[in-house]
């Protein structure tokens, strides 16, 4: 979220209802005005790094020290949907920088990590699946720390792609609302460090799940059965039941099919009464970074014991019974569930515990 360079600063802006989504008129990106959250022209690039790479370096600088970054017991895991696709030049062979693995390794090498960096690119669940991969690698004993980082830009390729689906809204998005009209895109980066050692705030990632409903390349299963599988997997690994989830952070893109599908999956999972929000109204859909940025906000919610309102929600517009918050809700959060879904029918879930 532009102007918020730490999860604490981001959370403070969200607490007061500030959104960075705005109307954008830029014919070099898209011929029609669209709503999105983007970095302004004053953003400073780092010499030798693209815009995407610069955002990642700034993000990781805020949380990463050499003792972790340079350890052979640390793995770097990068999540993105399109990476440096804005560097593609028509009629020319792709430069190395456009390959996701190249970006991952460049960032890991910049921070002095000796290991081969890993990349997860699976549409909009990339961020959640990257942190889940980190969890699995630590659980297996292969590493002691996982630095999970993700980023995407609202490039011309991305904006035109969503425009071709008629999925973008010409106004602020309204996840789960009766009058929702589509997605607001966003650009940004998020990162977290998973460790086998306890930190200053004792939160743990205890359950993970993923699935593919194999319904359609762009449309999710209408019944939410794929997402339900991922949720059940995550709850089972965490050893939790639905009634033990205090807070549910949904994907909530504000598109008709996604929100409807999620509501059905949540109801079938026994989460109808669980306080729920979508963060897309605050900083848009950040694609491969969404799961990470939103997970960081979930952790901050657990720390500050406050569930944020689902910005843009006024009147229920889905058939599955869900408890979407219209106002901030002070609450002690012992266990939280973060979910995501994306193109190709992919679904993922993570359970966090204090």
Residues 233, 115 within the same domain: no
Residues 180, 235 within the same domain: no
Encoded tokens for 326: 């219209």
Residues 254, 123 within the same domain: no
Residues 211, 188 within the same domain: no
- Choosing from 195, 225, 257, the residue where a domain stops is 195
Q: Is residue 48 part of a domain?
A: yes
Residues 168, 266 within the same domain: no
pLDDT above 90 covers what percent of the chain? 89
DSSP state string for 193-249: EEESS--SS--EEEEEEEEE--S-SSS--TT-HHHHHHHHHHHHHHT--GGG--EEE
Nearest CA to 295 out of 182, 201, 176, 205 is that of 205
| pTM, rounded to two decimals | 0.96
Residues 187, 221 within the same domain: no
257-312: pLDDT as tens digits: 999 999 999 999 999 999 999 999 999 999 999 999 999 999 999 999 999 999 99
Confidence category of residue 2, pLDDT binned at 50, 70, 90: very low
- CATH number of the domain that residue 240 is part of: 3.40.47.10
Q: Is residue 2 part of a domain?
A: no
Residues 107, 188 within the same domain: yes
Length of the chain in residues, anyone?
354
Residues 162, 218 within the same domain: no
Q: Domain total for the chain?
A: 2
Q: Is residue 1 part of a domain?
A: no
Residues 274, 323 within the same domain: yes
Query: So what's the pLDDT on residue 1?
Result: 39
User: Averaged over 127-135, what is the pLDDT?
Assistant: 98
- The three-class DSSP label of residue 302 is helix
How distant, in Å, are the alpha carbons of 71, 137, 268, 349 from that of 109?
12, 20, 45, 30
Q: Is residue 141 part of a domain?
A: yes
Residues 185, 262 within the same domain: no
Residues 130, 64 within the same domain: yes
User: Averaged over 244-252, what is the pLDDT?
Assistant: 98
174-188: pLDDT as tens digits: 999 999 999 999 999
Q: Is residue 258 part of a domain?
A: yes
Instruction: Say how far apart CA 24 and CA 26 lie, in whole Å.
Output: 6
Domain of residue 153, residue span: 7-195
- Choosing from 195, 214, 229, the residue where a domain stops is 195
- Choosing from 161, 195, 229, the residue where a domain stops is 195
Residues 302, 273 within the same domain: yes
Q: Is residue 315 part of a domain?
A: yes
């Amino acid at each position: 979220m532009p102007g918020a360079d730490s999860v604490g600063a981001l959370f403070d802006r969200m607490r007061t209802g500030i959104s960075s989504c705005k109307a954008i008129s830029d014919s070099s990106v898209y011929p029609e005005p669209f709503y999105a959250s983007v970095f302004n022209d004053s953003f400073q690039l780092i010499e030798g790094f693209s815009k995407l790479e610069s955002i990642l370096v700034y993000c990781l600088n805020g949380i990463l020290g050499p003792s972790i970054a340079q350890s052979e017991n640390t793995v770097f895991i990068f999540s993105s949907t399109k990476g440096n696709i804005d560097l593609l030049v028509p009629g020319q062979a792709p430069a190395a920088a456009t390959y996701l693995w190249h970006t991952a390794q460049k960032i890991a090498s910049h921070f002095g990590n000796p290991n081969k960096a890993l990349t997860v690119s699976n549409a909009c669940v990339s961020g959640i699946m990257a942190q889940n991969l980190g969890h699995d690698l630590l659980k297996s004993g292969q590493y002691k720390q996982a630095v999970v980082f993700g980023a995407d830009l609202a490039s011309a390729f991305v904006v035109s792609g969503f425009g071709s689906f008629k999925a973008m809204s010409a106004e602020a998005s309204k996840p789960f609302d009766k009058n929702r009209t589509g997605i607001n895109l966003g650009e940004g980066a998020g990162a977290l460090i998973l460790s086998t050692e306890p930190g200053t705030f004792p939160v743990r990632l205890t359950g993970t799940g993923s699935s593919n409903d194999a319904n359609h390349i762009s449309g999710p299963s209408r019944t939410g059965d794929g997402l339900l599988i991922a949720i059940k997997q995550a709850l089972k690994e965490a050893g939790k039941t639905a009634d033990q989830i205090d807070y549910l952070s949904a994907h909530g893109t504000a598109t008709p099919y996604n929100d409807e599908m999620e509501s059905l999956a949540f109801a079938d999972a026994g989460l109808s009464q669980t306080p729920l929000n979508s963060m897309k109204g605050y900083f848009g859909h950040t694609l491969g970074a969404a799961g990470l940025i939103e997970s960081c906000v979930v952790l901050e919610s657990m720390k500050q014991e406050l569930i944020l309102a689902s910005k843009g929600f006024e009147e229920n517009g889905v058939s599955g019974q869900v408890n979407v918050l219209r106002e901030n809700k002070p609450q002690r959060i012992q266990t939280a569930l973060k979910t995501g879904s994306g193109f190709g029918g992919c679904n993922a879930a993570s359970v966090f515990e204090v």
